[in-house]
Structure 1
Amino acid sequence: MAQHSFLLVCFYLSISSILIFGQTEASSIESLVLRSLYDSIFIHKDNTACPANGFYTYESFVQATRRFPRFGSVGSPEMRRLEVAAFLAQISHETTGGWATAPDGPYAWGLCFKEEVSPQSTYCDSSNTQWPCFPNKTYQGRGPIQLSWNYNYGPAGRALGFDGLRNPETVSTNSVIAFQTALWFWMTSQSPKPSCHDVMIGRYRPTEADLAANRIGGFGLTTNIINGGLECGIPGDGRINDRIGYFQRYAGLFKVATGPNLDCENQRPFA
């Protein structure tokens, strides 16, 4: 009987620990990004001029992060805030509705769009047989990270539980999945690229090829991961400056220093 009671106590303690751990993971982002901070970051996301108004809710953001418990939960408090600031800066540039003389400045208009404006193609790589395109489906930029191409929609859908190849439009109709695709891209390494997450928490270790290409850690490397083929290795590129502008504003709101290596103008893109 004593052994039975001991086992029963251990069982209840184990269940309690799981519940407490789950509550800690679920509440970590809320503690870093209060609703008031989220609203002060995305001042104009629900402006009627923004096609995505009403789509990128705080609740959807928080719910999406629960699928990625390591996001914003690794390292010192400063490192955690820095990673979240970097992620929000990158998705803000990808969805920006700002301009140079915009009200409250150009870096107050993140999350204005949920789908690419005037896509120039269907973003179907027909040579990729692992993730084949489906008839009458297009794979242009959608969601906070502007997920693009069938070879991204396919694995993102598999990881998140939706059919990204047959139903790519889900990314612009379901706000939780939209945020999850951005977090999936941020947290997932795709060789030879590291994950943006590993870069921002200092886990990235450059290879000899990375060092030869000047791909050193910092916010600029996350830009290289996201869109280096079009933006990196170009001195003074306006898109790079926009990303940095968002990051600097958000780092200030999170009360954390940006650190060095903000641009990728001297980096070669990943192959």
Structure 2
Amino acid sequence: MIRRITSFMAAVATIGALIVLGPGAATASAAECAAPWNSSSVYTGGKSASYNGRNWTAKWWTQNETPGRADVWADQGACGGGTDPGNPDPSGFIVSETQFNKMFPNRNPFYTYKGLTDALGAYPGFTKTGSETVRKQEAAAFLANVNHETGGLVHIVEQNQANYPHYCDKTQPYGCPAGQAAYYGRGPIQLSWNFNYKAAGDALGIDLLNNPYLVEQNPAIAWKTGLWYWNTQNGPGTMTAHDAMVNGAGFGETIRSINGALECNGGNPAQVQSRIDKYKAFTSILGTTPGSNLSC
């Protein structure tokens, strides 16, 4: 009986809607957008803001925490007919903003989705090479390793400050113009050493040798340094992480390119497994399979 009543009421509602609208009548428009989110504004609990075509309501006092973080903002749905971040970003990145936020629910606001998509132009082959499965697997692999290096996109700089003075190789002809302790790990893959800042800066057209602090100040530059390493550096491995994913070598080879024997070949199996577990979780979010050769 309950089922019949529900169906009857639904039919009445549908007929009523047709009568109200009539032939050629306009359908309901999207919700109006609240005032755009401002990183310098304070939002108390219940206050709304719009961001990337959606309305968001603060769950409590917040400032400079990008809408999309489920622990801070409540999603009120699409507004103004704008782009739904549940769909792929207009930049063409295969990971949507909604998926990115799901991967990193507690990320530092510094690591913005826009910063990442703004950085993609530096390496156009990244996540745009091969089949859709390969493209999604590369995105998941990059983000899984980034997750491991930064504690879930929480840390912008290396936490052990005792290491800071060790990353200056004075045998390089250009030395360490920013200071002995200026080349510590920064960004999504924790760029470190003066020679890496020099090489990354030269490749990206940014003077990182003299101003390495840009990597912890500018989200797009931070992401670009991570993409630089991923796409161009073998590290302690035999190929770039990009090549490992697009040529079928597998996720395990990306770990080798980042940390080599420190983790691979029995160096630290727990750390390797941690990376693998996150990679599997991220491929699941992207709706694909992890493939083979996951370990190193």
Corresponding residue for residue 243 of structure 1: 275
Corresponding residue for residue 54 of structure 1: 109
2:98 alignment partner, SS class: helix
Q: Distance in 1 between matches of 2:214 and 2:267?
A: 36
Q: Distance in 1 between matches of 2:261 and 2:162?
A: 17
2:162 alignment partner, SS class: coil
Q: CA deviation at 1:190?
A: 4.4
The letter of the residue matching 1:132 is G
Alpha carbons 1:137, 1:166 under 8 Å: kept: no
Alpha carbons 1:61, 1:176 under 8 Å: kept: yes
Corresponding residue for residue 27 of structure 1: 91
1:156 and 2:185 aligned = no
Q: CA deviation at 1:257?
A: 1.4
220-229 vs 174-183, greater mean Cα deviation:
220-229
The 1:236–1:168 alpha-carbon spacing in structure 2 relative to 1, beyond 3 Å, is: closer
Q: What is the total number of aligned residue pairs between the two structures?
A: 205
1:241 alignment partner, SS class: helix
Corresponding residue for residue 211 of structure 1: none
1:220 alignment partner, SS class: helix
Unpaired runs of at least 5, structure 1: 1-24, 46-52, 97-109, 204-216, 265-271
- Give 2:159's match in structure 1, choosing from 106, 112, 117: 117
- Give 1:222's match in structure 2, choosing from 251, 254, 264: 254
Alpha carbons 1:26, 1:69 under 8 Å: kept: no
Q: CA deviation at 1:116?
A: 0.5
Please identify the structure whose Cα radius of gyration is greater: 2
Q: Distance in 2 between matches of 1:220 and 1:114?
A: 25
The letter of the residue matching 2:247 is G
Corresponding residue for residue 178 of structure 1: 222
Q: Distance in 2 between matches of 1:246 and 1:136?
A: 35
Identical residues among aligned pairs (%): 39
Q: Distance in 2 between matches of 1:136 and 1:173?
A: 20
Q: CA deviation at 1:260?
A: 1.8
Q: Distance in 1 between matches of 2:115 and 2:228?
A: 15
**Structure 1, residues 45-94: CA drift from partner, whole Å, max 9, x if none?**
1xxxxxxx210111111101122111110100101000000000010100
Alpha carbons 1:132, 1:165 under 8 Å: kept: no
Flag the structure with more relative contact order, 1 or 2, with Cα contacts below 8 A and sequence separation at least 6: 1
Q: Distance in 2 between matches of 1:119 and 1:199?
A: 32
For normalisation by structure 2, the TM-score amounts to: 0.65
Q: Distance in 1 between matches of 2:243 and 2:234?
A: 12
Unpaired runs of at least 5, structure 2: 1-88
The letter of the residue matching 2:258 is I
The letter of the residue matching 1:170 is L
Q: Distance in 2 between matches of 1:147 and 1:128?
A: 17
2:161 alignment partner, SS class: coil
Q: Distance in 1 between matches of 2:154 and 2:239?
A: 28
Aligned Cα root-mean-square deviation (Å) = 2.1
**Structure 1, residues 123-144: CA drift from partner, whole Å, max 9, x if none?**
1122333x52223442111000
1:199 alignment partner, SS class: helix
Q: Distance in 2 between matches of 1:138 and 1:235?
A: 29
Corresponding residue for residue 209 of structure 1: none
Alpha carbons 2:215, 2:222 under 8 Å: kept: yes
Q: CA deviation at 1:237?
A: 2.3
The letter of the residue matching 1:77 is E
Q: Distance in 2 between matches of 1:171 and 1:44?
A: 20
Higher strand share: 2
The letter of the residue matching 1:226 is I
Corresponding residue for residue 188 of structure 2: 144
For normalisation by structure 1, the TM-score amounts to: 0.70
